[in-house]
Chain A
Amino acid sequence: AQSVTQLDSHVSVSEGTPVLLRCNYSSSYSPSLFWYVQHPNKGLQLLLKYTSAATLVKGINGFEAEFKKSETSFHLTKPSAHMSDAAEYFCVVSDKSSGGGGADGLTFGKGTHLIIQP
């Protein structure tokens, strides 16, 4: 079975400082990993995804994440936070072997609320 743990329910940073949102996963096989962002009362937007190519993945809006198999982590980072980054962030793992072909085997983390202080 697969699972994903977002280690912080809330993260607060000052504008212009680095952002780190932590995600650990467990999976029986080589997973695909995603980060989505959700602004209030909106749908989820894909930030980036890892699918067994380069371990450092660059996404939109200056975000990037590094897949570390030895640590089973996929932390999301950004060098300099902007006020518009304030949102909920979800780490998602996809292991088709556990979920079958039907539902993509997606498992969502519970989310990290990113707060940007002016």
Chain B
Amino acid sequence: DGGITQSPKYLFRKEGQNVTLSCEQNLNHDAMYWYRQDPGQGLRLIYYSQIVNDFQKGDIAEGYSVSREKKESFPLTVTSAQKNPTAFYLCASRRGGETQYFGPGTRLLVL
């Protein structure tokens, strides 16, 4: 059953803590993306990766970091430098010139 999985569904972060959101895809897609969604804001691009071991900053990369060690995986770390991390985080992937496909999302909340 092919698709994109994100875990956990809900994540709680304490002040000053780094947390990592998981994104895995078994679609054999080359490109992967992380977006942040806030109410009434649409989606904003955090980071993207076109190929393994390479990634680029999106529009709102400050306070976030990523890695792309495997084609299937693109984890996002929300660092303590991100002062307003509460949001819904969406991962997406794409093959070639085709459409982006999205995972189910992770909601991050600050304690």
Chain B residue nearest to A103 (CB atoms) is B48
Q: How many residues of B contact A (CB 8 A)?
A: 26
- In the complex, whether A11 has a CB less than 8 A from a CB of chain B is no
Instruction: Kindly list chain B residues whose C-beta atoms are within 8 Å of the C-beta of A104.
Output: 31, 94, 100
Q: Give Cα A10 to B48, complex, Å.
A: 31
Dominant secondary structure at the B interface: strand
Of residues 40 to 77 in B, which have CB atoms within 8 Å of A's CB atoms? 40-45, 48, 50, 56, 58
Q: Mark A34-51, 1 if CB is under 8 A from B, else 0.
A: 101000011111100100
Given contacts A103-B58, A108-B42, contact A41 B107 (CB under 8 A): yes
Q: Is the CB of A110 within 8 A of B107?
A: no
Q: Give Cα A110 to B33, complex, Å.
A: 19
- In the complex, whether B90 has a CB less than 8 A from a CB of chain A is yes
Q: Is the CB of B40 within 8 A of A111?
A: yes
Q: Is the CB of A102 within 8 A of B99?
A: no
Given contacts A103-B45, A106-B45, A109-B42, contact A44 B102 (CB under 8 A): yes
Q: Give Cα A42 to B37, complex, Å.
A: 12
B41: contacting residue among A36, A42, A110, CB under 8 A: A110
- In the complex, whether A90 has a CB less than 8 A from a CB of chain B is yes
Instruction: Kindly list chain B residues whose C-beta atoms are within 8 Å of the C-beta of A110.
Output: 40-42
Q: Is the CB of A111 within 8 A of B42?
A: yes
Given contacts A102-B48, A110-B40, A111-B40, contact A46 B105 (CB under 8 A): no
Q: Is the CB of A90 within 8 A of B43?
A: yes
- In the complex, whether A72 has a CB less than 8 A from a CB of chain B is no
Q: Mark A74-111, 1 if CB is under 8 A from B, else 0.
A: 00000000000000001000000000001110101111
Q: Give Cα A90 to B90, complex, Å.
A: 14
